[in-house]
Amino acid sequence: MSQALARTARIPRLGRFGWLMALYAENHARLTRLFAPEHLQVGTYVSSIGDGLDVRLEVIETHRYTVEMRLTYDICDPLTGEPDPSAFVRLYRDAHQAEATHCYVGKRWQDVIGLYPPPAEVISHRMRMNTFLGKWLEYLAEQGHGVATLHPAGAVRDVA
């Protein structure tokens, strides 16, 4: 039994912050495989697979090392009039990470968890948002969304 304990003591533990960084890396891989946003110009793009639930990707800003974007369905929340669900994402080109910065319409993280939250609450909130993003990206890929279905909003598509 002591040999088993000694062996597990040598295995490094992944803390919550390390787990969050790994989640950011997974989201980067999923997002770049799905839509390749690092190659898109500023503008709005739509992915349509013919199910009536189009995905809207808005590239808000591109910088040398980051791409700021918003991912949402092409439907609006009846109460707010804003697209929902919605995720604002910052893609780090150099670090190969993608972070959901907020997922709530009209709210910043301060509105959700308070102005002075304890660090553990900030990490938990980010883990929830980025877990949501990862599952959503996985779902979109399973449904057939991707680079081949993505086109600039307003562009006429040739449907064969």
Which pTM value belongs to this model? Answer: 0.80
| Domain annotation covers residue 73 | yes
| Domain annotation covers residue 133 | yes
| Domain annotation covers residue 51 | yes
Closest CA to 39 of 129, 150, 133, 144: 150
Enclosing domain of residue 127 = 21-152
Look at residue 74 and tell me whether its pLDDT is greater than 60. yes
Look at residue 84 and tell me whether its pLDDT is greater than 70. yes
pLDDT tens digits, one per residue of 96-153: 999 999 886 555 556 666 677 777 787 888 898 999 999 999 999 999 999 999 999 9
| Domain annotation covers residue 26 | yes
pLDDT tens digits, one per residue of 35-71: 999 999 999 999 999 888 999 999 999 999 999 999 9
Please answer whether residues 98 and 90 qualify as being in contact, where contact means their C-beta atoms are separated by less than 8 angstroms: yes
| Domain annotation covers residue 36 | yes
H helix or E strand, kind and range, residue 109: helix 109-113
| Domain annotation covers residue 91 | yes
Q: How many domains does the chain fold into? A: 1
